[in-house]
Amino acid sequence: MRRMLRACLYLTLLSLPLVAAFGVERFPPPEFDAGYKMPVTTMPPARALWLSYVDVAVLVAALALASYLVLKKRSRDGVLALSVFSLLYFGFYQQGCVCSIGSVQDVALALFNSGYVVPLTTVAFFLLPLLFTLFFGRTFCSGVCPMGAMQDLVLLKPVKVPAWLEHALGTLPFVYLGAGILFAATGSLFIICEYDPFVALYRRTGSFGMLALGAAFLIVGIFVGRPYCRFLCPYGALLSLVSRFSKWGVTLSPTDCIHCQICDTACPYGAIADPMLKDPHPDPRKRARRRLALLALTALLVVLGGWLGERLSVPFSNSHATVSLAEQIAAEDAGKIKEPTDASKAFRQTGQPVEELYAEAHRVRGRFAVGSVLFGAFVGLVFGLTLISVSEPHERNVYDPDPADCVSCGRCYVYCPKEIVRVKRIQGKNVIPLTPVRGEQKG
């Protein structure tokens, strides 16, 4: 009987227009006779707050230890061991989130939107490595960053990237940084997280695209040292800027450099700057003219970039959910699109006036108009400054790590013959180890 009733009710309901989207109590819950115990729906708790403070504490400890191992102890093995720990902790245990690289976007979003509250942990992950880099150079990259550790571990057969390619690709991190800030500050997308190559590996789950990207980076990373760090990492771009002015940093034995070039060969990241002993353009008038031309070119690039950014601001802004929804609603109302999307259906259900949506979309477009121009001009500036820095003669006359590019992995310590001698002398063994040095030279 009851079953029949239910079937009837079911059929009438089928013909009813669907008024309430969230359901109503159509079938009163039954009252059971014989001792039925109703199961309780579980509510697994979120990760405890104090654990995120542990993460910050581990970050500080790892940064301090990395700086100590790189600068004071000058131990490649120590840094390697620490990086493996960081890979396990920040990568596989913490599942790659929150990470300093992605935190750039949170910070951008928080700085440009007063409504967004950024978690304290994220702020710490953004600021602490920058602070340490300001004093000790990029020790974060070698010992703490799980992405760097991963790439450092797979590097088996390093190939030297030609200088022109290195300089050209070296602009990408800044472009990526600018794009990441543009899309995060406008509240549209977190592209740096979306195209994070290794987070899917840490979680051992992810879309095929993400896993494939990670695998591709690892395979390339076997031959090209740290491809992500050098040619894409936006946080690395920030760190390289700061690291130029760091108080301390990785150095070899500069005063008695014998120009053996072993360190240059040993560095898989192309970070040992070639000393340019003589100026390629000795004629001062020629050089001045060249400088002037480059400055003019930079100005031109900035203007060109700004113009291109202005052109691209509308397509960029369509990545924002509100703008794309407004576009969709407008196209539907104009009869251009027949099929409504989930978003447009949901919007119409809320009964919010279309004008409000358009106004909001307009506001976002306005922000993109400014942001895109700035982004384009910034890209132009990066290209221009790269050209200038490439053509300017360097002042150094010894082989030494470039503070901007050096990720402080400590490989060169083991290879510099002068350094080996120095270490031996400190250890009280006044024997010059000729054989090991020759052995190292071959390898």
Please say which residue, 53 or 289, places its beta carbon nearer to another protein.
Answer: 53
Round to whole Å and give the CA distance between 288 and 291. 5
Nearer to another protein, 70 or 301 (CB): 70
- How distant is the alpha carbon of residue 373 from its chain centre? 22
The SS3 of residue 400 is strand
Residue placing its CB nearer to another protein in the complex, 44 or 428:
44
Shortest spacing between CB 338 and another protein, in angstroms: 18
Separation CA 367–CA 81 (nearest Å): 46
CB of 90 to another protein, least distance (A): 13
Residue 401 pairs in a beta bridge with: 272
Q: Smallest distance from the beta carbon of 279 to another protein, in angstroms?
A: 18
CB burial of residue 314 (10 Å; 0-12, 13-18, 19+): middle
Q: CB of 443: closest distance to another protein in angstroms? A: 24
Q: Which is nearer to another protein, 94 or 313 (CB)?
A: 94
CA distance 391 to 399: 19
Q: Which is nearer to another protein, 26 or 442 (CB)?
A: 26
Please give the single-letter amino acid code of residue 118: V
Contact 235, 104 (CB under 8 A): yes
Minimum CB distance to another protein, residue 288 (Å): 21
CB atoms closer than 10 angstroms to residue 162 = 10
Report in angstroms how near the CB of residue 206 gets to another protein at its nearest. 6
Q: How far is the CB of 165 from another protein (least distance, A)?
A: 29
Q: Pick the closer one to another protein by CB: 83 or 122.
A: 122
How many Cα atoms within 13 Å fall on the side-chain side of residue 441?
9
C-beta of 305 vs 405, nearer to another protein: 405
Q: Which is nearer to another protein, 18 or 431 (CB)?
A: 18
Judged by CB, which is closer to another protein: 210, or 301?
Answer: 210
Contact (Cβ atoms closer than 8 angstroms) between residue 273 and residue 219: no
For the CB of residue 224, give the shortest distance to another protein in the complex, in Å.
27
> Minimum Å distance from CB 190 to another protein?
5
Q: How far apart are CA 286 and CA 393, in angstroms?
A: 13
Handedness of CA 211, 215, 218, 223 (dihedral sign): negative
Q: Residue 272, SS3?
A: strand
Please name every residue paired with 208 in a beta bridge, in sequence order, or none if there are none: none
Tell whether the torsion through CA atoms of 105, 366, 171 and 156 is positive or negative: positive
Q: Which residue has the tokens 């022109």?
A: 164
